[in-house]
Amino acid sequence: MDLFRHSSFFSYFTVLAIILGASAGLGDFFARPLLFRKKIIWISGAIGSVIIVLLASSLIKMNQADFLFFKPSTDFAAWLAAPDRHEHIIFHAILQLVFLTVFLLLIRKSSSSRKLLIAALILVEMVVSVQLNIYFTVASPGVSPKEIASNISRRAPGFPLPPANVPVSLNTEQNASYSVLWRNTNIFNKTVSFEGFNSFRLKGCEVLADSFPQLAQFAINNAPVYLSDQILSHYPSDLPIISEDNTALFADEKSFPDGFPELSKTSSDSLHITGFSPGNVVVNVSCKNSVAVTLLQAWYPGWKVFIDGVETKHFISNKMFISTICTPGNHIIEFSYSNLWLMAGFGFSCFVIIALISFLIYYLLAKRNKVVRLSVLILGWIFLTLLVLNRFNPFLSYEQQRTDQFREIAYRIVKSGVSVAVFNTDDDIQMLSTLKGVGYSGACCFQNLTYQSGLSDLISCLDSLKVGKIARVNLFAAVPAEADAVFHHKWPVELKKYYLKSGSVSVLSEGTAPSGIESINGFEKSVSCWNGNPDALDSLIVAEGNYSNRVDSLNQGSYAFKWTPDLHQYNKPFEVFIKAQVSGDFIGSSMFIQQRRGTKIVRSYSAGSGTYGVSPGKWTNISKVGNFPQGLRKDDELTAFFWGNGRNVFYVDNFSIAIRFLAD
């Protein structure tokens, strides 16, 4: 039980046991009501007694002068949050006693409709229970499921290729979180991450992360697949050596490879991931000498390594990862997982579930003739089969689907006639090769917005372009709202757009932008609607001009943009896009867009240090989009600003904001 770390699983199994016991008891009662009625009454009486004791105890301990459930509130969530624990116990106890009383009356009543009435009572109780507990368990006030769904739909489709130069350590929960999504968020991003949460701690992760945290940190400072030329025996005294080279591998005596050749990396060695899915990773490796190739994937039975199609020996490195030796030359290395017993178990589980559901449907249609029952089952199986085939095409491999979509994008670009195309894709090498294959000779700009630096690089790229029409491509990569705003701010007219299964291609041009408000503060002079401390202007580090805005322990907030709507702008929906250049120590700091109503923050958006890789010595573009579908009321205020952590120092320059009013 030392690996069983989440208490909710105990409550889950407890509740499940109670539900199974209750269903068995009700089944016995419906089969022989006279025999089991008295037992159910005794059980209900005991439960009722416990509820009454809790009710009496809370009545004594509660604030006698006030019962907040009787007071009006702005919304249902606030109405639930206001009362204290004792008031909740009183309210829930009264409801439970009401449901229990009705249940006992139905138990005593003998009629043909008793089953239906008890089922209806259970459904009503479940609905009431969920509504009263939802904001304390799985829902959050002010969070729209549509917004969550929209954000998830912008994450990368398919299985995007991990870049060969992005360390796994950057793919953190914080970087991929959004609103209430804060656990296992890299599942949505489909990025390789060492962070993850489950209620059972797997032995490999426990040994590496808990017993050798330094080794774990140095290992994940590498890309998902990397080259090494050091394999060392694993002893605690060896650990400081890896501070000199993150790629060094440690293998214990049992895993240490026998008779491997001398290893040596050179600057000309290269590695390119050409295929990626959870159970299969394909890498093209070119090396002058023998090297070790490591996949940051926990090894367990079923993982195999193939070099140029031939199965090759592999070993476990750094306590859990998969490594193999690659000889000089150009090679295709495939890390593949295959477990027939696991697939057979999965297939059997699916068969059992379908068989049980089919049996239940057949039983529920017992009053129908056999032909009708079989027809319903066959139609259900056909519908399920079509759904599976629509989602998983067994006649076309995932690799072939990728290739076809790259080719389709290339043909669309050529057909559009544009001379400049901006690509947001996971494989610029394949995209460029495909473009050349179809005869495209225009300029290309490649980014990957699934990762931290992508959006900053995209803004720099678009700021440098001086063309009236461009093609925009998204393929196997995330599409953040900020990217849409950057494009539409400069090229507001969308001439064409084509959708593919894993992306889209559109042609954009200059034109008249929607009505709105724009303002930019380069901190060279006073700008309307901007407020701040002139002492925080700094000429030491600037991106452009003579001054930037310094944020430090004395000036924890930056210059702020503040706007209140005019009469004709009340309640008009709008979108806000802010961007700025930042340099310095941005850790623990954020950029905010807020709608304020007096002292209350009604709506807020932020871009934190986990979202962007800001560092001293260079300027990073930071941006954020905020949507305000209800607009602003009278006396509401919209603000945009940076806020530091009170210790670090960073600089802000070219801080701009664009407000675009949307159609009602």
Who wins on pLDDT, 353 or 614? Answer: 353
CA 54 to CA 51: how far, in whole Å?
Answer: 5
Among 39-43, 176-180, 199-203, 507-511, which stretch is predicted with the lowest mean pLDDT?
Answer: 199-203
Who wins on pLDDT, 647 or 174? Answer: 647
CA 587 to CA 378: how far, in whole Å?
Answer: 59
* The dihedral formed by the CA atoms of 24, 26, 31 and 32, expressed in degrees to the nearest 10: 110
Which of 9, 120, 104, 106 minimizes the C-alpha distance to 48? 104
Q: What pLDDT score does 323 carry?
A: 95
Q: What share of the chain is helix, strand, coil (3-state, %, to 5)?
A: 40, 25, 35
Strand partners, 443: 420
> Is the pLDDT confidence value at 594 over 70?
yes
Residue 8: band (very low, low, confident or very high) from pLDDT cuts 50, 70, 90: low
CA 106 to CA 120: how far, in whole Å?
Answer: 11
Residue 243: band (very low, low, confident or very high) from pLDDT cuts 50, 70, 90: low
Q: Strand, helix or coil at 648?
A: coil
Q: What pLDDT score does 366 carry?
A: 77
CB 119 within 8 A of CB 22: no
Residue 3: band (very low, low, confident or very high) from pLDDT cuts 50, 70, 90: very low
The percent of residues in the chain predicted with pLDDT above 70, rounded, is 94
> Is the pLDDT confidence value at 202 over 70?
no
The percent of residues in the chain predicted with pLDDT above 90, rounded, is 50
CB 621 within 8 A of CB 615: no
Mean pLDDT for the chain overall = 87
CA distances from 355 to 345, 378, 382, 597 (A): 15, 12, 14, 57
CA 164 to CA 162: how far, in whole Å?
Answer: 6
> Is the pLDDT confidence value at 1 over 50?
no
Who wins on pLDDT, 516 or 4? Answer: 516
Buried b / exposed e across 400-425, counting CB within 10 Å, b at 16+?
Answer: eebeebbebbbbbbbebebeebbbbb
- The pair phi, psi for residue 147, each rounded to 5°, is -65, -40
CB 660 within 8 A of CB 516: yes
CA 250 to CA 315: how far, in whole Å?
Answer: 11
Using the Cα atoms of residue 613, residue 617, residue 619 and residue 624 in order, give the sign of their dihedral: positive
Half-sphere exposure of residue 373: CA atoms within 13 angstroms, side-chain side: 14
What pTM, to 2 d.p., does this model score?
0.79
Give the tens place of pLDDT for each residue, 125-176: 999 998 888 888 777 777 778 888 888 888 888 889 998 888 898 887 777 7
CA distances from 498 to 76, 159, 495, 507 (A): 43, 21, 11, 9
CA 504 to CA 474: how far, in whole Å?
Answer: 5
